Amino acid sequence: MELDPFILSRIQFAANITFHIMFPTITIALGWILLFFKLRYNATKDEAWMQAYFYFTKVFALTFALGVVSGITMSFQFGTNWPGFMETVGNVAGPLLAYEVLTAFFLEATFLGIMLFGFSRVPGWVHTLATFLVAAGTTLSAFWIIVLNSWMHTPQGFEMIANEAGQLQAHATSWAEIVFNPSMPYRLTHMLIASGLTASFLVAGISALRWLINDRSPTVMKSMKTGVFIAAFLIPVQMFVGDLHGLNTKEYQPAKVAAMEGIWETQKGAPLVLFGMPNSETKQIDYAIEIPKLASFILTRDWDGEIKGVDAFEHAPPVAPIFWAFRIMVGMGVMMLVISWTAAYFLWRKQDITRPLAFVLVAMTFSGWVATIAGWYVTEIGRQPWLVQGVLTTEEALGPISGGMVATTLSAYLVTYVVLLIAYISTLIHMAKRAGDGSHRDPLKPSVQGAERRTIVTAAQ
Partner 1 sequence: MQDIISSGDWLPYTFAFLMGLSMLIYAVLDGYDLGVGMLSDSTNEKEKDRMIASIGPFWDANETWLVLGVGLMLVAFPAAHGVILTELYLPVAVMLFGLIFRGVAFDFRAKVPYQKKWRWNLAFYIGSLLAALAQGYMLGSYIMGFEDSPLATLFSILTGLAVASGYCLIGACWLIMKCDGGLQRKAIKWAKYHLINTVVGLGLISLITPLVSERIFSKWFSVPEIYWIAPIPLATGALIAFLYFILRKLPFENDRYCWVPLITTTGIFILSFTGLAYSFFPYIIPEQMTIVEAASAPSSLMIMLVGALIVLPILIGYTILAYVIFHGKAKDLSYS
Where in 200-259 is the site for partner 1 (CB under 8 A)?
none
Nearest residue (CB) to partner 1, 370 versus 451: 451
Residue range at the interface with partner 1 (CB under 8 A); choices 73-81, 192-200, 365-373, 439-447: 73-81
Complete DSSP assignment for 322-358: HHHHHHHHHHHHHHHHHHHHHHHHHHHHTSS--HHHH
Among 70, 200, 226, 296, binds partner 1 (CB under 8 A): 70
Residues 118-147 that bind partner 1 (CB under 8 A): 118-122
Query: Applying CB under 8 A, which of residues 42, 103, 128, 342 lies at the interface with partner 1?
Result: 103
- Categorise residue 69: left if φ over 0, alpha if ψ from -120 to 50, beta otherwise: alpha
Compute the least distance from the CB of residue 310 to partner 1, in Å.
33
Based on the shown chain and the rule CB under 8 A, indicate whether residue 3 belongs to the binding site for partner 1.
no
Closer residue to partner 1 in complex, CB, 279/409: 409
* Residue 69 binds partner 1 (CB under 8 A): yes
Shortest Cβ distance from residue 55 to partner 1 (Å)? Answer: 10
Task: Name the residue among 211, 371, 392, 261 with its Cα closest to residue 315.
Answer: 392
Residue number, 257 or 448, with CB nearest to partner 1: 448
Determine which residue in the list 4, 45, 72, 174 makes contact with partner 1, applying CB under 8 A.
72
Contact call for residue 447 and partner 1 (CB under 8 A)? no
128 vs 38: CA distance, rounded Å: 7
Nearer to partner 1 among residue 64 and residue 377 (C-beta): 64
Q: Tell which residue, 324, 94, 322, 347, has the closest CA to residue 216.
A: 347
Distance CA 269, CA 300 (A): 10
Q: Which amino acid type is present at position 340?
A: S
Binding residues for partner 1, rule CB under 8 A, total 74
**Which residue lies nearer to partner 1 by CB, 28 or 93?**
93
Q: Which of 159, 274, 450, 459 binds partner 1 (CB under 8 A)?
A: 450
Q: Does 109 bind partner 1 (CB under 8 A)?
A: yes
Task: Tell me if 403 contacts partner 1 by CB under 8 A.
Answer: no
- Closest approach of Cβ 93 to partner 1, in Å? 8
Q: How many residues does the chain have?
A: 461
CA–CA distance, 49 with 150 (Å, rounded to integer): 38
Is 416 a residue that touches partner 1 (CB under 8 A)? yes
Q: Binding pattern to partner 1, positions 424-443, x when CB under 8 A?
A: ---x--xx------------
Determine if 113 is a binding residue for partner 1 (CB under 8 A): yes
Which residue number, 80 or 266, has a Cβ lying nearer to partner 1?
Answer: 80
Residues from 162 through 191 that contact partner 1 (CB under 8 A):
169, 171-172, 175
Instruction: Give the SS3 label for residue 306.
Output: strand
Per-residue HEC secondary structure of 24-84 comes to: HHHHHHHHHHHHHHHHHHHHHCCHHHHHHHHHHHHHHHHHHHHHHHHHHHHHHHHHHHCHH
Distance between CA atoms of 171 and 126, rounded to whole angstroms?
Answer: 42
Listed ranges 58-66, 253-261, 285-293, 325-333: which one lies at the site for partner 1 (CB under 8 A): 58-66
Residues within window 310-369 making contact with partner 1, judged by CB under 8 A: none
184 and 331 Cβ atoms separated by less than 8 Å: no
Of 254 and 436, CB closest to partner 1: 436
Identify whether the C-beta of residue 333 lies closer than 8 Å to the C-beta of residue 237.
Answer: no
Say if residues 158 and 92 touch (Cβ distance below 8 Å). Answer: yes
- Phi/psi of residue 103, nearest 5 degrees: -80, -35
